[in-house]
Structure 1
Amino acid sequence: MARPKKSDAPDLSERVSLSAGAIERLTCPAGKQQAFMRDTEAPGLRVRVTVAGAKSFVFESKLNRQTIRRTIGDVKSWTIEQARTEARRLAVELDNGADPREVKRQKDAADTAERQRLQSIVVRERLTGLEAWAEYVKEGREVGFTERGPWGTRHAADHDTMSTAGGVAYKRKTKGVTQPGPLHPLLSRPLVKIDAPAVAQWLKEENAHRPARAALAFRLLRGFLNWCAEHAVYSAIAKPEAHKPKDVRRLIRKQTPKDDVLQREHLPAWFAGVLSDANPYPRAYLLALLLTGARKNELSHLAWEDVDFRFGGSMSIRDKVDGLRVIPCPAYLAHILAQLPRRGPWVFGAGAAAPGIGDTAAYNHRKALAAGGLPHVSLHGLRRSFGSLAEWVECPAGVVAQLMGHKPSATAEKHYRARPLDLLRVWHEKITAWMLEQAGVEFDPKTAAAGGLRVVNN
């Protein structure tokens, strides 16, 4: 029988001693999708060739009377000796009763688990508190965490300002930038490192220059850590007990109640300063704060559709406690509001965007106080002033609480007092008239109506 030429394709019916030349000449016979060339030195080692010409080393053997194959690797990546060594190793596994395919699956699964473990460690070490905080705030804005639903505007704004990075130029100052929020330095740390010692050190540093803000920031941080404790991912990373140790809680500075209020003798100078403001919007806003005792944000987001000048006047205020409360709109305040030009849906705003009257009003208020030589009174202090000044006309405490949107504090108030709007209006007008009298402001509702008080049909 003639010896085959070196250029001829190997005879696949016989075992051959694998060589680079034999592998190079190996082709897939016509009509087949793949073919195998067997090695003489390593039992079970094959070189597989596909109809497309791809070639790879393969281990083939019998297990439980079934043929099993496992790919070793591409002939371009593995040498013949490496493939033989791997084939012998797989043969030993098979002799020991192990299925090489199952061994590989287990090894791959173990490798995947190890990669995931290492990746989780990286995530655990790199995930910052700010990243988790952003998710927490987003959920609070959209869904909320109690039956009340999403957070209110003020509560959401507190979370933003407490975690802001700062560095923004002041609006009213020509120099300088805003400072980072109290929580920003702490939340910039990896979440896993926000533990009790870190919280204690952060409180000590913040207490040195802004203890009141630090106390509020701590309360917000406490809610955030409690949320992390129930989160599917962050519960394994965060230290939810970081705010609980006594050594941490004792660092919270107790805040004394604010007592910035307008006294009866302050009213002439206060009204004179506020009424002299050339800008009608902050002027009306400040008057409304004092004459209604409403919260700052409740009034700043007052829409024209919430004001009804008919039937004695009323205002529907978005209450942070009950959602909505309807109070009278005193004749003097109705006269002031009716004179405001309408610039959009908001009483104290321009356009469709949320009003930003608070900053302007606070600035103008400080100027009015300085012009009258009066002590500092914050915008919220005007709310306190309403409650304090109402006692001069011996207004029932329950009426004042209902006008201001306070929860009833007694059983009788909760279950046995249902005051109609007209009854509230009687006392509200008395309070307003007394304030105007003390301030020396002349106002006659009949004269004001005859002079062109506008009626707005809602």
Structure 2
Amino acid sequence: MTTKLTLTTARVENLPCEPDKQQTIHWDAKTPGFGLRVTSAGARSYIFESRLFGKTLRVTIGDARAWELGRARTEASRLKMLVNEGKDPREVKAEQRQALEARREEAARQDVLFGQAWDAYIQERKPFWSERHFRDHVQHASEGGVARKRGQGLTQAGPLAALRALRLPDLTGPRIAQWCPRRSRTEPPRRLNREPGVEADAAMVDCG
């Protein structure tokens, strides 16, 4: 027969696991569905148990050393409210985690620079391009300043180099329009060497 008692801080620290059992759950008389699980190894954690659509549902709230008793009771009451609304707390938690990850990924995308995106793009496309076509893409976004392999002097920056430090959200139509006239005044229109079957892409740098 399951017995209940009002959990206190002292009881949480001292309630034992029953002999010859791997775990014992001591149910709280104060908060429905709230209990303390004590394992034979001495681990103590707060849990919540209820029934949803005819099935038993159990959720681990957390380690009793990390959760203050009153806070754990409050969490159990919150979980009970979700169950009363017909919601599975585990599914709600999973949805919240997915939403958080989506926000983090979106925030990370907002911080991606054009140069990073360009480099990742050409590396992904490299297996489908000739070496010359790939080299053209590299050169058009190169920042220059590297000793030439042939001849003397340093390499020049490619036409897309000025955009490398821009965050992708900042790569707007007005910003591109501002960049194009400046490139047109300093050099003639240039295009990458296209190959049969290769799609037109952002590598075209004709602002004329």
Give me the TM-score of the superposition, normalised by structure 2. Answer: 0.77
**Greater helix content:** 1
**Letter aligned with residue 158 of structure 1:** D
Residue 12 of structure 2 corresponds to residue 34 of structure 1: no
Q: Does the Cα contact within 8 Å between 2:52 and 2:86 map onto a contact in 1?
A: no
Pick aligned residue for 2:12 from 20, 23, 37: 23
Name the CA distance, whole Å, in 1 between partners of 2:124 and 2:32: 63
Name the CA distance, whole Å, in 1 between partners of 2:104 and 2:191: 34
**Letter aligned with residue 207 of structure 1:** S
Change (3 A) 1:54 1:156: closer
Structure 1 residue 166: Cα displacement:
1.2
**Letter aligned with residue 184 of structure 1:** A
Counterpart in 2 of 1:56?
45
- 1:396-421 CA-to-partner distances (Å, cap 9, x unmatched) read xxxxxxxxxxxxxxxxxxxxxxxxxx
Where do 1:193-208 residues align within 5 Å?
193-208=170-185
Name the CA distance, whole Å, in 2 between partners of 1:65 and 1:190: 52
The alignment covers a number of residue pairs equal to 203
Q: Does the Cα contact within 8 Å between 1:133 and 1:224 map onto a contact in 2?
A: no
Residue 152 of structure 2 corresponds to residue 178 of structure 1: no
Name the CA distance, whole Å, in 1 between partners of 2:103 and 2:191: 34
Where do 1:123-202 residues align within 5 Å?
123=109, 125-138=110-123, 141-144=126-129, 150=130, 153=132, 155-169=133-147, 172-173=151-152, 177-202=154-179
Pick aligned residue for 1:98 from 74, 77, 86: 86
SS in 1 for 2:107: helix
Name the CA distance, whole Å, in 1 between partners of 2:141 and 2:54: 68
Structure 1 gaps of 5+ residues are 1-11, 145-149, 228-242, 244-248, 253-458
Q: What percentage of residue pairs aligned between the two structures are identical? A: 31
Change (3 A) 1:179 1:74: same
Where do 1:248-263 residues align within 5 Å?
251-252=207-208
- 1:198-221 CA-to-partner distances (Å, cap 9, x unmatched) read 3322222122232x2xx115888x
- 1:320-354 CA-to-partner distances (Å, cap 9, x unmatched) read xxxxxxxxxxxxxxxxxxxxxxxxxxxxxxxxxxx
RMSD of aligned C-alpha atoms? 3.3
Change (3 A) 1:103 1:163: same
Name the CA distance, whole Å, in 1 between partners of 2:135 and 2:81: 68
SS in 1 for 2:103: helix
Residue 75 of structure 2 corresponds to residue 86 of structure 1: yes
SS in 1 for 2:186: coil
**Greater strand content:** 2
**Letter aligned with residue 107 of structure 2:** I
